[in-house]
Structure 1
Amino acid sequence: MAYSGAVKVGGPADVHELTDLMISKVAVGPMDNNAYVLRCRATDEQLLIDAAADPHTILALVGESGLASVVTTHRHGDHWGALREVVGATGARTYAGRYDAEGIPVPTDVLVDDGDTITVGRVRLTARHLVGHTPGSIALVYDDPHGPPHLFTGDCLFPGGVGNTWGDAEKFSSLIDDVESKLFGELPDETWVYPGHGNDTTLGAERPHLAQWRERGW
């Protein structure tokens, strides 16, 4: 069955099977967060993006293969609600953006800066620092050598717009500038986007609306 990225709380994970990487997406409540388990197909090493809300669902998705690392995309509590339990159960190494780590009440082992590389087995992910939704939000780019890139955006980019900046014009300007330059400016339309909530999209589907987003201010 083809991957769609459409998941719901209490439902099964959806699995995107790439040549070198397996991406399992699951939704957890109460805020319909997405959590992603990435597994290197060569080594079976696994990495989790956002230990959100429900440790039981996340640990079941991790399974017996164990978990090498957890990346928290940003400091908001719905994205790290299960982090302490998941790290306690797995011993996983923790990663977060340098300027958001202080807002995450589980120690961050590795502070992440723009352009840093995070590995899962033989697969390399590149971090992009995006300022506006929070001071230290990070997105992760997997530049798949066998196909289009894959982009994990946390709460910085969704179908239909950038993340919430609560009516703050300065924060909105910063976020859309970073998203436009570091994501749309560097990655092709075919890039698959995995957001922190809701359905997936592609950069190509969103690119025609950038000017509209700027004009409306959110």
Structure 2
Amino acid sequence: MAYTGEVEVGGTPDVHELKDLIITKAAVGPMNNNAYVLRCRETDEQLLVDAANEPETLLEVIGADGLTSVVTTHQHGDHWQALQAVVDATGARTYAGRHDADGIPVPTDVLVDDGDIIRVGRVELTARHIVGHTPGSIVLVYDDPHGHPHVFTGDCLFPGGVGNTQGDAERFASLFRDVKAKLFDVLPDETWVYPGHGNDTTLGAERPHLPEWLERGW
């Protein structure tokens, strides 16, 4: 079956097979978080984006081949509840944005800055620092050499808008500015977006609505 990105807590993960990378998306409770296991086809190394919760579920998706690294997109607790258990079980190296790492109670092995490259096997992901939802949120951009880009946005971008800034106009302005400058202004409409909660989208589907988001302020 073709990948849809529509998953539910307790349901079957969905698998997006690219030429160099396999992306497995799973939903975990109780906040309906998405977690993504990225597997390099050439080396079989694996990287997890957000050990959100349900470590037993995540470890089942990871499987017997183990895990090289875990990237936490931001410091909010619903994105790292399973991090310690996953690290203990796999020995994976931990990555997080430099300005959010202090808010994550599991030690961060690698502090990530804007433009840093994170590798899973032969595949390279570019981290972009996005300020607003939290001070140190990062998104990961995979610029697929055989197709369109793929972006793991954490809680910075969803279908229908940017992430929650709790009504803070300054934080919203920062988040909107960074998402526009670092994603919409430099990536094509075909770019596939994998958010921290809910269904996937594309930049092309969301781009026409940017003026509406700016006007409503959330």
TM-score (structure 2 length as normaliser): 1.00
* Cα distance in structure 2, aligned partners of 1:127 and 1:181: 14
Give 1:53 shift.
1.1
Residue in 1 aligned with 2:133? Answer: 133
Residue in 2 aligned with 1:5? Answer: 5
Q: Which runs of 5+ in 1 are unaligned?
A: none
**Could you report, residue by residue, the CA deviation over 1:120-158 in whole angstroms, capped at 9, with x for unpaired residues?**
000000000000000000000000000000000000000
After TM superposition, which residue ranges in structure 1, 4 or more long, deviate above 4 angstroms?
none
Determine if the alignment matches structure 1 residue 149 to structure 2 residue 154. no
Pairs aligned (count): 218
Residue in 2 aligned with 1:14? Answer: 14
The SS at the match of 2:63 is helix
The SS at the match of 1:211 is helix
* Cα distance in structure 2, aligned partners of 1:81 and 1:48: 14
2:115 counterpart letter in structure 1? G
Determine if the alignment matches structure 1 residue 191 to structure 2 residue 196. no
**Could you report, residue by residue, the CA deviation over 1:99-135 in whole angstroms, capped at 9, with x for unpaired residues?**
0000000000000000000000000000000000000
2:94 counterpart letter in structure 1? T
Matches within 5 A, 1:61-80: 61-80=61-80
Matches within 5 A, 1:65-214: 65-214=65-214
* Cα distance in structure 2, aligned partners of 1:208 and 1:115: 27
* Cα distance in structure 2, aligned partners of 1:188 and 1:31: 30
TM-score (structure 1 length as normaliser): 1.00
2:205 counterpart letter in structure 1? A
